[in-house]
Amino acid sequence: MNGEEIRILVVDDEESIRNLLQRMLTEAGYNVTTAADGQEALDKVSQLKVGVVLLDMKMPGMSGMEVLQQLAGRWPEICVIMVTAVANLETAVDALKRGAYDYITKPFNQDDLIFKIQRALEKRNLRLENECHQLELRQRVAEQTRQLKANFVELIETLAREHNLLYRLADSRRDSKAALSKLPKELQEPLASVEEFREALIRILRRGNIMPKR
């Protein structure tokens, strides 16, 4: 099961709750770590490969909402499931708006808890896969752009050499002079360098609305 690869972090200031959740999730095949407060939770997230955090809403010191804010900002790939009492449902809904994936209420329904964790891990894996695909796409686009630029430079250099050769031939061949007269006005005069040829070609393309202005 995914639980052997991805760790579940249970954060609750009540030891009995931590032990109960750890036992339930371990029996379901998950690798479980616990934390007694918000700071310990953040420390463990920074050190371990955590996929899902079960986060108690009310804790002394750093509250569950404060921990959620830091998790959402620093580790957005982690799915946070808030743990709340029935009386705190309104606050739990607010937590969803702030980045929590879901919430569960005390006392726990084991089947519901396992189902929500499975769904949370599926969402996390899908998000990571999408990020991987996007990275691969950006890398392919960057490589293709680099290749296109290299091809464009090579084409410009080739055309510049042909243009220079045409001018040298124009002194001795009438057909070369006729060919020069058919070129755009920017190319009817000799150009001293490849860069001058490139700038002349860019002006021609812009005049024909082929290339946008910088």
Same domain, 93 and 138: no
φ/ψ of 33, rounded to 5, equals -125, 150
Parallel, antiparallel or unpaired: strands 79-85 and 50-56: parallel
pLDDT score of 176: 58
Same-domain pairing of 14 and 90: yes
Q: Which comes out higher in pLDDT, residue 187 or 81?
A: 81
Same domain flag for 11 and 91: yes
177: pLDDT strictly greater than 70: no
pLDDT per position as a tens digit, 132-153: 777 788 888 888 888 888 887 7
Same domain membership, residue 195 and residue 143: yes
- Name the more confident of 20 and 6: 20
- Residue 121 inside a domain? The answer is no
pLDDT at 39: 95
Answer whether residue 114 is part of any domain. Answer: no
Residue 212, amino acid: P
For residues 102 and 9, membership in a common domain is answered with yes
In a domain, 88, yes or no: yes
pLDDT at 175: 59
| Residue bearing the bigger pLDDT, 176 or 44 | 44
Picking from 62, 90, 108, the residue at the C-terminal end of a domain is 108
Whether residue 43 contacts residue 86, with contact meaning beta carbons closer than 8 Å, is answered with no
pLDDT of residue 128: 74
| Helix, coil or strand: residue 101 | coil
Contacts of 170 (CB under 8 A, 6+ apart): 176, 177, 180
Q: Report pLDDT for 5.
A: 64
Q: What percent of the chain has pLDDT over 90?
A: 34
Q: Cα separations (Å) of 91 from 56, 65, 86, 161, 206?
A: 12, 9, 10, 72, 59
Q: Specify if 126 maps to a domain.
A: no
Residues 86 and 8 both lie in one domain = yes
Q: Quick one: average pLDDT of 165-180?
A: 64
Are 102 and 164 within one domain? no
Is residue 125 domain-resident?
no
What whole-number distance in Å separates Cα of residue 130 and Cα of residue 188? 53
Considering the domain architecture, whether residues 8 and 101 belong to the same structural domain is answered as: yes
Which structural domain, as residue segments, surrounds residue 195? 134-207
How far is Cα 142 from Cα 135, in angstroms, rounded to an integer? 10
Name the pTM for this structure: 0.61
Q: Which helix (H) or strand (E) covers residue 120, if one does?
A: helix 110-170
pLDDT digits (tens, 9 = 90+) for 71-122: 999 998 899 999 987 766 778 788 888 999 998 888 888 888 999 999 888 8
In a domain, 115, yes or no: no
The residues near 35 (Cβ < 8 Å, ≥ 6 apart) are 9, 10, 11, 41, 43, 44
How confident is the model over 24-70, as pLDDT tens digits?
999 999 999 999 999 999 999 999 989 999 999 889 889 999 999 99
Rounded to whole angstroms, the Cα distance separating 164 from 162 reads 5
Helix, coil or strand: residue 133: helix
Does residue 178 surpass a pLDDT of 60? yes
Tokens 């804010």 correspond to 69
Q: Looking at beta carbons, which pairs linking 195-203 to residues 24 or more positions away fall under 8 Å?
A: 197/156, 197/159, 197/160, 197/163, 198/156, 198/160, 201/156, 201/159
Judge if 30 and 92 occupy the same domain.
yes
User: Residue 191 pLDDT more than 90?
Assistant: no
> Taking 60 as the threshold, does the pLDDT of residue 4 lie above it?
no
CB 16 within 8 A of CB 36: no
pLDDT band at 125 (very low <50, low <70, confident <90, very high): confident
Domains in the chain, number:
2
Tell me, yes or no, whether 26 and 94 share the same domain.
Answer: yes
Q: Is residue 117 part of a domain?
A: no
* 68 plus 141 within the same structural domain: no
148 falls within a domain: yes
The CATH number for 38's domain is 3.40.50.2300
